Structure 1
Amino acid sequence: MHIEQAGATASIAVFESPVISQDCAEALQSLGFNVTTLALNEDNVMGLMSTRPDYVLTINFNQYISEVCELLKIPYLAWVIDTPCYPIYDKAINHSHSFTFIYDAAVARRLRQSGVRQVYHLPVAANMARIGQFQYEHQDSSFENEISFVANLTRTEYRTAILPHLSAQTGGCCQRLIDSLDQPEGFLNLSAQLGDELLSAIKQESGYPLAGDHYLSVAEKLAYLLGREHSWRERIDIIQELEKRFSVVVYGNDEWQAQVSSYVGHADHFTQMPGIFQRSKINLNIIRSFVESGLPMRVFDVLSCGGFLVSNDKDDLHRLFTDGKDLVIYRDNQDLLDICAYYLEHDEERRSIAQHGRVTLEKNHTFVQRMTDMLTTVQSELRGEPGAFSRWYR
């Protein structure tokens, strides 16, 4: 795709984030843009008024930057890579100069149905050049694991601020709804089951300030809180099941320590994770139940390192990759146990899938490709030609 540039060299301000902003900046530089990276603070946001770049990019949506860019008539590009990302439900997302790209197509589509026009689906990606420069010590065996899981375990607002105050009846209703998320499509219908009576009881009994937003109902907000609680429990249950049969290593925050015996500590995204992904026989991916169709960075990070990935099912896995060729999808806990047992005994088949997954990633899912798609869509909109919602969804 051809990206038009404003003048000799178009300028873009990229606000820093902990993970992928630098990958985006490098991709934009390779595409010929004059890139300035900025710390996300009030001085730099207000400084846009004097520097006036041609474009502004953030990871996740920032309503204050949206307001400034609307005032200055500068195209604001937000790439949303988290669920839930509550700022996207602010009315600022519908500003005429805001263009929001969301990794989960279901969330993007629902916002469009609510009247937000310039919102699109864009999966995350991998920086193959950065991964290619990574070197690990061949004699270091600390990353040579049978099964690895790299993820944080976050104690939820429901568990800490709501559940302790609920009556047995209200808590039981919530528990049944949480249990319903064991079904693959459970979250899709969850908010519809949260009637006014239950919402009122939860508010009154817990005192929790449960509130929605311009594009987010109170029921949808509570659905996210219950979904996060389900995912907290699901991750613990799966790891405990795996520990009974296999050698498992869990990396993440210290919330894991009281829950599983296989926790070994934090792993740095840039310096340690590539070695873990490369040298683990099986890399596990447990996508949270409240993520409807999108894929987290872990999928792309593992495959970019040539790691073998086993993941639970989400729609984008089938649209972006091929089950059994690029990675392996499990359907339930028993299926996961069977898959792990099989591939720990079939080294060549496992390595072949990992290699094929890396090739697919390098061919179709790089930051250069994502930045090209993003800028092409925005420039189409600026010419008055509606940009495509997604490469992968109509």
Structure 2
Amino acid sequence: MTAYSKQSKTAASIVVFEATVISGDCAEALQTLGLRVTTLALNEDNVMGLMSSRPDYVLTINFNQYISEVCELLKIPYLAWVIDTPCYPIYDKAINHSHSFTFIYDAAVARRLRQSGVRQVYHLPVAANLERIGRIDFETPDSLAENDISFVANLTRTEYRTSILPHLSAQTREGCKRLIASLDRPDGFEHLSTQLGDEFISTLKLESNYPLAGDRYLSVAEKLAYLLGREHSWQERIDVIQQLEERFCVAVYGNEEWQAQTGSYVGHADHFTEMPRIFQRSKINLNIIRSFVESGLPMRVFDVLSCGGFLVTNDKEDLHRLFTAGKDLVIYRDTQDLIEICGYYLEHDEERRAIAQQSRATLAQNHTFLQRMTDMLSTVQSELRGEPGAFSRWYR
């Protein structure tokens, strides 16, 4: 599809503001679709420069309320693709601007915003750039990438651990501990904010002096739920890795925070050059989706599969809507199940390779950036014609 400029019959212009990952993949796909693409660093000068350049569209990775304000003033459609949880700017009133169109990788978050009165918000999963991966030289020997089990992820020390927990009374600390433990259940986060009553929140704020606040579309209880969820995921990642490394040869790539938690830490891996080789050459690639992500899938899922890697992951709803468990990837229920799965597939090479091969074919058919940018533009153009765009290709 080719989008055309409102001012002429030439191809439409779009400014893509750069982000650490996927903005380049989006720009490449948009160029393939025939748009005139300009990529810019995200800074104040370039945002204000929109007033003179007047593109037909603006795209960012994650929502930026200041760009939304400028585009609303200029009446330029602003497209935001939210790929992080939590993304706090989406709860600002700016997300409901008439020229803002927000696409969120987690359908549960998008649906809740719609229920709160935000109309132009949609579900759009992340994707794979198979062409970019195809340009990588996988033939160069790299013994550091050849692992039995690899986990590529940062371990981020949480605000709860550093700024809240040290100041809590024993009683409040125990209450938080029980709430965090409740996230071991698959549906735990869905119900967490309803367990956080006003009295408990007031006590926590008073004891910790932490500036806990909500936003237009985010309650204080929901904000606290995210803080506790992040702490649960911190603990979960450490626990899973420590149990795996007792039985298998594990390699953990990420930030230096891992060093104090595991003997399997091997260092940082560059997203565009080193990670693809790790994903392709590891026998098993592990994915631990954070407990506060309700239904969506992180980039790691698509990155691993795009390299022809074999993926074992914990469960989220989008896995069943976008892929076929046991055919494209393998889902584990709990840590004991994960240990048994890893033991099985380390001994069954042919089954493992067949699943990895099939998953890449599934990506090519259904989950490319070209398809995502087509869906995004089609939705926005429908809305601009006065025809409501579909909430999601995978959810009604």
Q: What TM-score range do you get, normalising by the shorter chain?
A: over 0.9
Name the structure 1 match of 2:87. Answer: 85
Letter in 1 for 2:254: G
Letter in 2 for 1:223: A
1:8 deviates by 1.5
Name the structure 1 match of 2:63. Answer: 61
1:5 deviates by 2.0
| Mapping for residues 37-52 of structure 1, pairs under 5 Å | 37-52=39-54
1:52 deviates by 0.2
Given the alignment of the two structures, is residue 154 of structure 1 paired with residue 156 of structure 2, yes or no?
yes
Tell me the C-alpha RMSD between the 2 structures.
0.6
Letter in 2 for 1:156: T
Moved over 3 A (4+): none
Name the structure 2 match of 1:223. Answer: 225
Name the structure 1 match of 2:264. Answer: 262
Equivalent residue in structure 2 for 1:176, among 175, 178, 192? 178
Given the alignment of the two structures, is residue 5 of structure 1 paired with residue 4 of structure 2, yes or no?
yes
Question: Secondary structure of the residue that 1:181 maps to in structure 2?
Answer: helix
Question: Secondary structure of the residue that 1:284 maps to in structure 2?
Answer: strand
Equivalent residue in structure 2 for 1:18, among 17, 20, 23? 20
1:142 deviates by 1.4
Contact 1:111 1:119 in 2 (8 A): yes
| Mapping for residues 1-394 of structure 1, pairs under 5 Å | 2-6=1-5, 7-394=9-396
* Unaligned ranges ≥5, structure 1: none
Cα distance in 2 for partners of 1:47, 1:141 equals: 47
Contact 1:3 1:372 in 2 (8 A): no
Letter in 2 for 1:239: I
Question: Secondary structure of the residue that 2:127 maps to in structure 1?
Answer: coil
- Of 196-205 and 5-14, deviating more is 5-14
Show CA shifts across 1:45-70 (max 9, x none). 00000000000000000000000000
Cα distance in 2 for partners of 1:136, 1:286 equals: 25
1:173 deviates by 0.5
Cα distance in 1 for partners of 2:184, 2:30 equals: 41
Letter in 2 for 1:258: A
* Unaligned ranges ≥5, structure 2: none
Contact 1:3 1:376 in 2 (8 A): no
Cα distance in 1 for partners of 2:2, 2:71 equals: 21
1:137 deviates by 4.4
Question: Secondary structure of the residue that 1:268 maps to in structure 2?
Answer: coil
Letter in 2 for 1:203: K
Cα distance in 1 for partners of 2:177, 2:191 equals: 15
Letter in 2 for 1:5: Y
Letter in 2 for 1:115: G
Contact 1:274 1:305 in 2 (8 A): yes
Name the TM-score, length of structure 2 as normaliser.
Answer: 0.99
Contact 2:2 2:35 in 1 (8 A): no
Question: Secondary structure of the residue that 1:393 maps to in structure 2?
Answer: coil
Contact 1:3 1:375 in 2 (8 A): no
Show CA shifts across 1:144-202 (max 9, x none). 10000000000000000000000000010000000000000000000000000110000
Cα distance in 2 for partners of 1:265, 1:108 equals: 35
1:139 deviates by 2.8
Identity %: 82
Cα distance in 1 for partners of 2:350, 2:242 equals: 28
Contact 1:145 1:279 in 2 (8 A): yes
Contact 2:244 2:339 in 1 (8 A): yes
Cα distance in 2 for partners of 1:131, 1:279 equals: 14
Cα distance in 1 for partners of 2:371, 2:252 equals: 32
Cα distance in 2 for partners of 1:140, 1:377 equals: 43
Letter in 1 for 2:90: I
Cα distance in 1 for partners of 2:247, 2:140 equals: 28
Cα distance in 1 for partners of 2:132, 2:277 equals: 13
Question: Secondary structure of the residue that 1:387 maps to in structure 2?
Answer: coil
Contact 1:277 1:306 in 2 (8 A): yes
Contact 2:288 2:313 in 1 (8 A): yes
Cα distance in 1 for partners of 2:216, 2:229 equals: 21
Question: Secondary structure of the residue that 2:252 maps to in structure 1?
Answer: strand
Aligned residues: 393
Name the TM-score, length of structure 1 as normaliser.
Answer: 0.99
Contact 1:380 1:387 in 2 (8 A): yes
Question: Secondary structure of the residue that 2:143 maps to in structure 1?
Answer: coil
Contact 1:311 1:330 in 2 (8 A): yes
Question: Secondary structure of the residue that 2:145 maps to in structure 1?
Answer: coil
Cα distance in 2 for partners of 1:11, 1:368 equals: 17
